[in-house]
């Protein structure tokens, strides 16, 4: 007997998160094991509040338009479920005969999906949980290039292209702090801005390498003496000896 599925989005949006959403919806609607596909507005908060939509009512052409739209079409949330929240979620799932749960997001979303799966097992509720990866940081385990990273990396490279041209005209030192949490993927993407040998970023600092403030200053001075200018890319997650954060 076919059962129902539910999909939600969580965490920060990306330029391509709706591609994943529409992919899940289209494949779920075509699966013989699944009857209806619901969307949770504002993720698991929408499940609790009963803010749900039925994708059977959406036309295929509308879904294609959504797939090409940035940000989170179902809206988002940052909420970690407690055991009580999980029980309330399962109550809603029982009402709607939902036994397939797809949650699109990054690290926190993966943890939320895991918690709901563990609680479903403990409660004896038959539920298949699927975490659909999304993060600009590209820091999910066992994921090579995560959806969301490529478009964000392109944006970083383009931003540094512009900064490099400004810096070439005005001189001086320009330091950009780049997102990415404890992973240096986005910061490393800044080097894609280089076209000529003297293009910035001239220096790149990522969390995977221990950061020294003295070495940082010496590196900048060396580049400035050579070129009369310096463009620097620094990850927000750089740390000193013992893991102490440099940027609070």
Which pLDDT belongs to residue 30?
94
Per-residue CA distances from 182 to 18, 93, 209, 240, 245 (Å) = 25, 36, 11, 13, 10
pTM over 0.85: yes
Q: Which two tokens stand for residue 201?
A: 């970023």
Which pLDDT belongs to residue 35?
95
| Residue limits of CATH 3.40.50.460 in the chain | 152-243
Which pLDDT belongs to residue 142?
82
Cβ proximity of 105 and 69 under 8 Å: no
Q: Is 126 a catalytic residue?
A: no
Distance CA 211, CA 105 (A): 30
Does domain 152-243 correspond to CATH entry 2.60.40.420? no
Beta bridge partners of 177: 234
Question: Closest Cα to residue 35, out of 79, 98, 81, 104?
Answer: 98
Distance CA 233, CA 190 (A): 7
Which pLDDT belongs to residue 52?
97
Which pLDDT belongs to residue 57?
87
Which pLDDT belongs to residue 236?
94
State the number of CA atoms in the 13 A half-sphere of 235 facing the CB: 26
Distance CA 78, CA 56 (A): 27
Q: What is the DSSP string of 117-171?
A: HHHHHHHT---EEEEEE--TT---TT-SS-TTHHHHHHHHHHHHHHHHHHHHHH-
Cβ proximity of 52 and 6 under 8 Å: yes
Q: Of the listed 54, 137, 144, 182, which one is catalytic?
A: 137
Which pLDDT belongs to residue 243?
82
Domain 3-134 sits in CATH at 3.40.50.450
pLDDT along the chain (248 residues), means of 10: 93 93 96 96 96 92 93 93 90 95 94 94 93 93 89 96 95 95 95 95 97 96 97 95 80
Distance CA 241, CA 110 (A): 30
| Residue limits of CATH 3.40.50.450 in the chain | 3-134
Which pLDDT belongs to residue 68?
93
């Amino acid at each position: 007997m076919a059962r129902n599925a539910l999909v939600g989005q969580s965490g920060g949006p990306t330029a391509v998160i709706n591609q994943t959403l529409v992919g899940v919806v289209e494949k779920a609607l075509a699966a013989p094991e699944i009857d209806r596909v619901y969307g949770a507005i504002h993720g698991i908060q929408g499940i609790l509040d009963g803010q749900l939509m039925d994708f059977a009512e959406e036309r295929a052409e509308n879904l294609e338009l959504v797939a090409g739209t940035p940000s989170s079409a179902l809206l988002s949330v940052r909420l970690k479920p407690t055991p009580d929240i999980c029980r309330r979620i399962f109550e809603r799932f029982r009402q709607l005969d939902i036994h397939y749960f797809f949650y699109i997001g990054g690290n926190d979303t993966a943890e939320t999906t895991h918690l709901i799966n563990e609680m479903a097992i403990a409660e004896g509720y038959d539920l298949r949980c699927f975490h659909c990866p999304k993060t600009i940081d590209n820091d999910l385990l066992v994921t090579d290039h995560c959806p969301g990273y490529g478009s964000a990396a392109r944006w970083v490279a383009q931003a540094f292209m512009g900064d490099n041209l400004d810096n070439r005209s005005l001189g001086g030192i320009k330091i950009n702090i780049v997102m990415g949490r404890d992973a240096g993927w986005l910061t490393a993407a800044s080097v894609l801005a280089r076209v000529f040998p003297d293009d910035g970023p001239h220096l790149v600092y990522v969390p995977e390498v221990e950061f020294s403030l003295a070495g940082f200053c010496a590196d900048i001075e060396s580049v400035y003496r050579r070129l009369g200018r310096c463009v620097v890319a620094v990850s927000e997650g750089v740390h000193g000896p013992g893991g102490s954060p440099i940027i609070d």
